[in-house]
Structure 1
Amino acid sequence: MLGPFNKIWKEYLRVYHSVTYVRMLVLGVLVGIFAGLVAVIFRLGLDYSLDFIQHNLAGFSSHGGHSGEYRPWVIPIALVSVALVTGFLVEKFLPDSIHGVTDGTDAMIKAFHQNKGEIKPKAPIIKGITSIMTIAAGGSAGQEGPVSQLGAGLGCWFAHKFGLSTKERRILMLTGAAGGLGAIFLAPLGGAMTAIEVIYKEDFESEAIVSAVTSSVVAYSLFFMAFGSKPMFDIPEFHFNDARELLFYAILSAACALAAWIYVRTFHFLKYSVFEKLRQRVGIMWTMAAGGLIMGVYGMFYPEVLSTGHHGLEQAINGSLPVFTMLVLLFGKTLATSLTLGSGMSGGMFAPALFVGGMTGGVVGFTANSFYPNIVTQPGGYVLVGMATFFAGVANAPIGPLIMVCELSQGYGLLAPLMLAGAICVVISRKVSLYENQVENKFESPAHIVDSTVNILENLHVGDFYQRGRVTILEESITLKALTNIITGTNEFFFPVKNIAGEITGILSINDVRNILYEESLFDLVVVGDLARKGVTLHDDDDLYTALVKFVDSDLGQIPVVQEDNPHEILGLINRADVFRAYKNHLSTIHENEK
């Protein structure tokens, strides 16, 4: 009875252990389940906390305005309290987490490239809890950073439990992040693509596609089972019908690129020129408290910049905000986010970036509509396109945000302008990067250093591997008879040859004279200058890749190493075997460090 089942199970185990894609598919489902559950818990905690602080205590309505007794002073008190708690936890348990990272997503990127895919379990847990507190208290931050970090932490944890390699741990970390993003935004494909795309400026992690998509779909399914599949925004359906609008979408790209530059520069200025200097004087906790106080007072008078700002985006899309108000909110949200996250408080940069991009798009779209109403007939669509375009520029991720916005709006009617605007903005903003730990491509990442074999040789130098000491040098005028006596008294196989002026003119290989070495009739007729090959030399500061090329071109086993300022002064010889041995040892060291 159990025979067929056992056979199927054994075959599954064989395939699981031998085929990477099968293993990643199965683990993607497992990680997706837990990432979805974590996203559900995070959302429930945030909804409850936000309702309690902002609605019950402060009296802010979820749709703007007031509800019940209005107590705006609750916001700065709440944010300062959260900042003190966050600062204490970070200072005690995660003192290094505030240095060199933008948010939870950037921390995940750093772990992928620099930490072998390792994330300490306490980091995402602490950041997740403090992010809920920060957003609920009114801090300008998003959910996606902590949720992607929580998902990445789950992936890392499962990788250790199943004894996976470093490479697979990195893939599973991205798998967990994709699950968190796909769930929290109800955008399974956009979440998966963003997770594997955002770690590079000009590349994406193709090996993680299968597991990332699987995890994102599973997590998304669990999330909408808990909260429903209603899209984030209650907005009309938009369509692109007039090719003339492409000009205005190109203008939108330039506007988003400018806004992205301002957004990143403002964040970096406040983080490093203001809060970093303050932190060196008073410590992490009081620096966060200062940021929380300023943000709280700011939000008390301008509640539109509090938390994620989803309601403001919906108003902009539906045309309920004047152009001037959107322009003010664009800069206001930029400042609020820089105060919140620049001071070190927890949260993500994705949602604030969508808000700023949406307001930028709204300014362009509704302004164009007032002048060209027959061409720009749906200015609200520019808000959606601005969201994706702006994030594509600041995160160097043109594909994921585009798909995510389509999924958020549940329509692909704006796909063409989304593609055009995103591509233009990425090109214009190529020197702007919100995430500090992004690298250009796979060749710049320590995660793929094993793939860069040529780069290994280029980083090693001849001076560290050649054999110094006495070298047998032959003169061009030495006869074959004298050469036989020299060869008999040495174990060498290659001899540098010099002329009467002391210049290196060639190299003699024993293989080239083997057939005539004992031809007595030629002893006094043939000289070394007739037998030598063309001279080949290396400098001690040449890299081993240069040496390897010269060995291949000359077919020699040894090459003289000379001084750069005196090319005829021989320092020693480097063997072809020395190059291969250096490469093998260095590659073994890299593999050992990756375990």
Structure 2
Amino acid sequence: MNLLFALLRPWRDFLRTYRHVSSVRWLLLGVVVGVFSGLAAVAFFGAVEFGKFVIQHKLAGLTLPAPAGEEIFHGEAGPLRLWVIPVTTTLVALVTGWLITRYIPESVDSGTDGTDAMIKAFHVQGGILKPRAWMIKGLTSVGTIMSGGSAGREGPISQICAGIGCWLAQRLKLTVKERRILLLAGAAGGLGAIFRAPLGGALTAVEVIYREDFEAEAVLPAVLSSVVAYSLFTLFYGTEPIFGIPHFSFRDARELIFYAVLAVACALTGWLYVRTFYFVKYSVFRKLQEKVGLMWATTVGGLLMGLMGMYYPQLLSGGYGWLEGAIMGQMTIGMMLAILIGKTIATSVTIGSGMSGGMFAPALFVGGMTGGLVGQAAHHYYPQIAREPGGYVLVGMAAFFAGVANAPIGPLIMVTELTQGYGLLAPLMLASALCIVLGHKFSLYENQVDNKFDSPAHVMDATINILEELKVEAHYKPRLVVTLEECTTLKALTDIIANTNQLVFPVRNTAGEFTGLLSLSNARRVLFERTLFDLLVVRDLAGKRAYLRPDYDLYTALLKFVDTDYDQIPVVAPDDTNTILGLIDRESVFKAYADAIREVRSDEGE
């Protein structure tokens, strides 16, 4: 028996640490979410790339450039059959429209893409993403991208992995607040893995939900989840970054002028990108949906996308291969301008019609082409200053997405991870900051809010923050507490109650263990039933056990009072729940809160 206790003690110590040390708990939860997110990213990426290889390369006969880090399937192209593209995009759109109409019609109003659906779930849905929604959206996104729809992988994978985080939180019966944090941790894992940028993915997930803020409490689990997911992803697909590009550096301070021009250009193209999308979605396809239904409106969008892709293959799927070509200086100004405009329209048609996919990758694509245009022009007229036009493509990617998504840090870090260096850090910071300032009046994501004060998720934070700063140890008086034995009769209980002012009595078993609580309000209904004096014992009247430790905050105490409806709750020793130090009253918590509010108001008045 002693051996068994010795073996179980480390496990008990771990459970105690897990329950009472938040950083340890989030470390473990972040790792678990990262494992699931990494496996989901591996499966999603493999399915998309295999589907593209079969449909676009083998069936349609297209040989499209792929970035160096994503060439995982090789083989000779089939005979050229360009009609395959509109046929497959139309079929995928038809199936997508039917599935959404039949199973998840509410997702029509979930926002721009999967990332926006995740943002909405965080703010107004209590951190809940229905499994049916993210599973169907994930499958239809695979179909959209592999058939050639102009959409990205990052939006769907953020929704899928956010859904996984939500699902785990529900299985573990976590609080709403914790569920929201795991939602973001899941999204971070998906982004960090699929983009091969663990830090950038984590920071993007926690800042994209706000325009002017970020979710600080989610940083630790988000980073852990992203690192674990990225590590799993690289076990299958290698550690090489997406783009095989040379190292770029910033050498001439005069070049900042051109990067400032780039920020202005990105703000303009960002405005065009967002406005075009909203116009196509609401003024064209939403009206078409009202007339013929979602399924047929989506089918029309798939057909239009397929026809555009058939005549201009540069618009198909994410387009990272063309983006790498722009970085390497292999594209002309005219070609980049045409792709920029075409990609904006193609993405608006694809996502705006109701097909599934993300706006993240197309946004990087358009931003990169904008950077390429500015870089090529600057290099043409001032070659001694703008020596590396490819660097403008990378800076344009980060600045453009920072502007349209109001996410200044994540995209910047992503680009430094893609380039595997900080050579472009100064222009990245300048261009991103300027682009955010210039584009603050529009946003790619419909469900973003300005800051925590505008989020329903933080409506109670003013109260919670005050109570979390106050500890139980400062608001109870250690004293001798009258406890009851489980076998104490009702007759003996009346004598005990008459000689104490306690409202709640801890109950112990024969081994001296604290097993429950007897509330005076519950006992009062039988207290004077003389016929029951020798029949009822304390064990029959006791309620469930509840306790607080001195290091608990008063918000935890408040929740405990609400959950149990006791007037007093025992305060126990930090290392032994059977040692009762005193009692804390419900009124003590309310008084502490009122005093703290009064002090805050007094400080503000001064």
TM over 0.5: yes
Query: Match for residue 197 of structure 2?
Result: 187
What amino acid is aligned across from residue 270 of structure 2 in structure 1? A
Give me the TM-score of the superposition, normalised by structure 1. Answer: 0.75
Query: Match for residue 235 of structure 1?
Result: 245
Query: Match for residue 499 of structure 1?
Result: none
Separation in structure 2 between the aligned mates of residue 321 and residue 67 of structure 1, nearest angstrom: 23
1:12 to 6, 11, 14: 14
Separation in structure 1 between the aligned mates of residue 33 and residue 157 of structure 2, nearest angstrom: 13
Contact 1:323 1:363 (8 Å CA) reproduced = yes
Separation in structure 1 between the aligned mates of residue 171 and residue 65 of structure 2, nearest angstrom: 45
Aligned-residue offset at 1:2: 5.2
1:29 aligns with 2:34: no
Query: Match for residue 592 of structure 1?
Result: none
Aligned-residue offset at 1:99: 1.4
Separation in structure 1 between the aligned mates of residue 78 and residue 303 of structure 2, nearest angstrom: 24
Contact 1:171 1:207 (8 Å CA) reproduced = yes
1:301 aligns with 2:311: yes
1:349 to 351, 359, 368: 359
What amino acid is aligned across from residue 407 of structure 1 in structure 2? E
Separation in structure 2 between the aligned mates of residue 426 and residue 7 of structure 1, nearest angstrom: 54
1:445 to 448, 451, 455: 455
Separation in structure 2 between the aligned mates of residue 5 and residue 355 of structure 1, nearest angstrom: 56
Q: Partner of 1:98: helix, strand, or coil? A: helix
Written as runs of structure 1 = structure 2, the 5 A alignment for 1:120-199 is 120-199=130-209
Contact 1:443 1:452 (8 Å CA) reproduced = no
Query: Match for residue 518 of structure 2?
Result: none
Q: Deviations over 1:434-483 (max 9, x none)?
A: 000000000000000002459xxxxxxxxxxxxxxxxxxxxxxxxxxxxx
What amino acid is aligned across from residue 171 of structure 1 in structure 2? I
Separation in structure 1 between the aligned mates of residue 65 and residue 443 of structure 2, nearest angstrom: 33
Q: Deviations over 1:474-530 (max 9, x none)?
A: xxxxxxxxxxxxxxxxxxxxxxxxxxxxxxxxxxxxxxxxxxxxxxxxxxxxxxxxx
1:272 to 267, 272, 282: 282
Q: Deviations over 1:316-367 (max 9, x none)?
A: 0000000111111111100000000000100001000000000000000010
What amino acid is aligned across from residue 29 of structure 1 in structure 2? V
Q: Partner of 1:134: helix, strand, or coil? A: helix
Query: Match for residue 39 of structure 1?
Result: 41
Contact 2:59 2:78 (8 Å CA) reproduced = no
Contact 2:203 2:409 (8 Å CA) reproduced = yes
Separation in structure 2 between the aligned mates of residue 73 and residue 62 of structure 1, nearest angstrom: 16
Q: Deviations over 1:282-306 (max 9, x none)?
A: 1110000000111110111010011
Separation in structure 1 between the aligned mates of residue 137 and residue 155 of structure 2, nearest angstrom: 9
Separation in structure 2 between the aligned mates of residue 67 and residue 17 of structure 1, nearest angstrom: 56
Separation in structure 2 between the aligned mates of residue 320 and residue 2 of structure 1, nearest angstrom: 69
Separation in structure 2 between the aligned mates of residue 15 and residue 284 of structure 1, nearest angstrom: 51
Separation in structure 2 between the aligned mates of residue 11 and residue 437 of structure 1, nearest angstrom: 42
Segment drifting more, 7-16 vs 317-326: 7-16
Contact 2:266 2:367 (8 Å CA) reproduced = yes
Separation in structure 2 between the aligned mates of residue 124 and residue 408 of structure 1, nearest angstrom: 28
Query: Match for residue 566 of structure 1?
Result: none
Aligned-residue offset at 1:6: 2.4
Separation in structure 2 between the aligned mates of residue 76 and residue 192 of structure 1, nearest angstrom: 36
What amino acid is aligned across from residue 49 of structure 1 in structure 2? G
1:111 aligns with 2:121: yes
1:427 aligns with 2:437: yes
Separation in structure 2 between the aligned mates of residue 452 and residue 93 of structure 1, nearest angstrom: 39
Query: Match for residue 390 of structure 1?
Result: 400
Aligned-residue offset at 1:25: 1.1
Written as runs of structure 1 = structure 2, the 5 A alignment for 1:362-373 is 362-373=372-383
Query: Match for residue 76 of structure 1?
Result: 86
The structure with more radius of gyration = 1
Separation in structure 1 between the aligned mates of residue 77 and residue 91 of structure 2, nearest angstrom: 23
Q: Partner of 2:239: helix, strand, or coil? A: coil
Aligned-residue offset at 1:248: 0.3
Aligned-residue offset at 1:3: 4.6
Contact 2:157 2:190 (8 Å CA) reproduced = yes
Aligned-residue offset at 1:408: 1.7
Query: Match for residue 378 of structure 1?
Result: 388
1:62 to 42, 51, 64: 64
Query: Match for residue 424 of structure 2?
Result: 414
2:272 to 262, 282, 286: 262
Q: Deviations over 1:52-92 (max 9, x none)?
A: 1101111111328x944111111110000000000010001
Q: Deviations over 1:126-169 (max 9, x none)?
A: 11111010001100000011101111011001101111000000
Aligned-residue offset at 1:8: 2.1
Separation in structure 2 between the aligned mates of residue 415 and residue 95 of structure 1, nearest angstrom: 44
Q: Partner of 2:169: helix, strand, or coil? A: helix
* Structure 1: runs of 5+ lacking an equivalent: 455-579, 585-595
Separation in structure 2 between the aligned mates of residue 152 and residue 68 of structure 1, nearest angstrom: 38
Separation in structure 2 between the aligned mates of residue 373 and residue 227 of structure 1, nearest angstrom: 38
* Structure 2: runs of 5+ lacking an equivalent: 67-75, 465-589, 595-606
1:213 aligns with 2:215: no
1:359 aligns with 2:369: yes
1:102 aligns with 2:150: no
Q: Partner of 1:61: helix, strand, or coil? A: coil
Percent identity reads 61
Aligned-residue offset at 1:44: 1.0
Aligned-residue offset at 1:213: 0.3
Query: Match for residue 103 of structure 2?
Result: 93
Written as runs of structure 1 = structure 2, the 5 A alignment for 1:307-326 is 307-326=317-336
What is the aligned length?
A: 459
Give me the TM-score of the superposition, normalised by structure 2. Answer: 0.74
Query: Match for residue 548 of structure 1?
Result: none
Separation in structure 2 between the aligned mates of residue 219 and residue 124 of structure 1, nearest angstrom: 18
Contact 1:127 1:146 (8 Å CA) reproduced = yes
Separation in structure 2 between the aligned mates of residue 19 and residue 90 of structure 1, nearest angstrom: 42
Separation in structure 1 between the aligned mates of residue 219 and residue 462 of structure 2, nearest angstrom: 22
Written as runs of structure 1 = structure 2, the 5 A alignment for 1:509-588 is none
Aligned-residue offset at 1:48: 1.1
Q: Partner of 2:109: helix, strand, or coil? A: coil
Contact 2:207 2:410 (8 Å CA) reproduced = yes
Aligned-residue offset at 1:5: 4.2
Aligned-residue offset at 1:369: 0.2
Q: Partner of 1:300: helix, strand, or coil? A: helix
Aligned-residue offset at 1:409: 2.1
Separation in structure 1 between the aligned mates of residue 442 and residue 463 of structure 2, nearest angstrom: 30
Query: Match for residue 561 of structure 1?
Result: none
Q: Partner of 2:299: helix, strand, or coil? A: helix
Separation in structure 2 between the aligned mates of residue 392 and residue 208 of structure 1, nearest angstrom: 20
Separation in structure 1 between the aligned mates of residue 7 and residue 25 of structure 2, nearest angstrom: 20
Residue 102 to residue 447, structure 1, CA distance change in 2 (3 Å)? same
Separation in structure 2 between the aligned mates of residue 225 and residue 193 of structure 1, nearest angstrom: 23
Two-structure CA RMSD over aligned residues (Å): 1.8
Q: Partner of 2:107: helix, strand, or coil? A: coil
Q: Partner of 1:257: helix, strand, or coil? A: helix
Separation in structure 2 between the aligned mates of residue 123 and residue 19 of structure 1, nearest angstrom: 34
Contact 1:139 1:292 (8 Å CA) reproduced = yes
